[in-house]
Amino acid sequence: MKVSVLRIGHRLVRDDRITTHAALVSRALGSDKIYMTEVDHSINETLEEIAKRWGGKYDFAIEIIEDWRKVIKDWKKEGGKVVLLTMYGINIDDRINQLRKEDRVLVIIGAEKVPREIYDLADYNIAIGNQPHSEIAALAIFLDRIFSGKELKKDFRGAKLKIIPMVKGKMVKEMENNV
Amino acid sequence: MKVSVLRIGHRLVRDDRITTHAALVSRALGSDKIYMTEVDHSINETLEEIAKRWGGKYDFAIEIIEDWRKVIKDWKKEGGKVVLLTMYGINIDDRINQLRKEDRVLVIIGAEKVPREIYDLADYNIAIGNQPHSEIAALAIFLDRIFSGKELKKDFRGAKLKIIPMVKGKMVKEMENNV
């Protein structure tokens, strides 16, 4: 299954760190793209730097967009499904079997308030619990559920560095000509 | 099982939003306490406000601390286990059975760099994947694994408001005298 992420409602400066986390989580937990609006463009450099070191250069992209409505409409026109993560939705565990059968999913995460319109545009309104918490946490658990935890052992091709998991401390292996 | 969270390495202002997310995730996903250093104290008000509306007033606490070493040492002295979440650790799925058998766990999340000392103090160094992403995401998946997803349907007592999960839109029920 292909999963892309659409982040809407970024508030300048205030949300910079959160948005960086959203992009990093999208990449690390198996989605192939994040669409974002009004973002500090340095986020592209951060992600390029990470791909250079930790791999997966061709597996993940950031696209800065102007109009999220267009992204959603194009996605649906091409037969993809749209999922809004919201505390008001149906619990993920009551829809996960159905969701896993989809081919292409666009998962939307927002800042505090999401325009009413999106609730109607979405094919699924999914809650990662019905308590307020964090769109980063919601995205992480969503991706983890969708990919059944397998994304945590995903291989990122072309990494310069690879972690050797350790009981204590850090071990990092330098890879040679890994493309 | 009881799980508390220790957040270290908050950088003033820059990390305020991330730290708020850390506290909200700790509360929503079933931990009973978060210890934090050097934090904007308004975070207490935010969490109190949320407990008033969404419940669980007596189930979750924030404790502002000065010395994280003391928190860790006291925790271990009382027989609790300490888990550091780090991309350099052992994959969560290779330790989850063992972790679920523990009675009391203190899970440590840090900002970018965590003092070397903590790797040695921790009983477990656990990776939520070996790629860089977000301590909020790592904490969320950790709690979700530890509590086997049941935390997403946890009842928060004494809520003024309760969400009725909806396929579309929002439905919130006002609770009467719910203590």
Q: What pLDDT digit, counting tens, does each position of A82-93 carry?
A: 999 999 999 999
> Does the distance separating the beta carbons of B165 and A90 come in below 8 Å?
yes
User: Mean pLDDT, chain A, as a whole number?
Assistant: 93
pLDDT in tens, A9-57: 766 666 778 889 999 999 999 999 999 987 777 889 999 999 999 999 9
Q: Which of B18, B24, B12, B20 is nearest to B135 (CA)?
A: B18
Q: Identify whether the C-beta of residue A97 lies closer than 8 Å to the C-beta of residue B174.
A: no
The architecture (CATH level 2) of B2-174 comes to 3-Layer(aba) Sandwich (3.40)
State which residue of chain A sits closest to B154, comparing Cα positions. Answer: A129
Q: What was the pLDDT predicted at A13?
A: 61
Give how far Cα B51 sits from Cα of A61, B81, B108, B160, Å: 38, 28, 23, 9
Q: Which of A125, A133, A25 is nearest to B151 (CA)?
A: A133
Q: Which of A87, A88, A113 to mutate to test the interface with B (most CBs of B within 10 A)?
A: A88
State which residue of chain B sits closest to A161, comparing Cα positions. Answer: B131
Interchain CB contact of A102 with B (< 8 Å): no
In 10 A of CB A85, how many CB atoms?
24
CA distance B127 to B109: 11
Nearest by CB to A168, which of B125, B168, B172? B125
Q: What was the pLDDT predicted at A65?
A: 92
Q: Which of B46, B113, B130 to mutate to test the interface with A (most CBs of A within 10 A)?
A: B130
pLDDT band at B176 (very low <50, low <70, confident <90, very high): confident
CA distance B19 to B38: 10
Q: Is B62 helix (H, G, I), strand (E, B) or coil?
A: strand
Q: What pairs with residue B82 in β-bridges? A: B106
How does DSSP assign A85-126, residue by residue?
Answer: EEEEEEEGGGTHHHHHT-SEEEEEEESS---HHHHHH-SEEE
Q: What's the ipTM?
A: 0.95
Residue A65 sits at φ, ψ, to 5 deg, of -120, 165
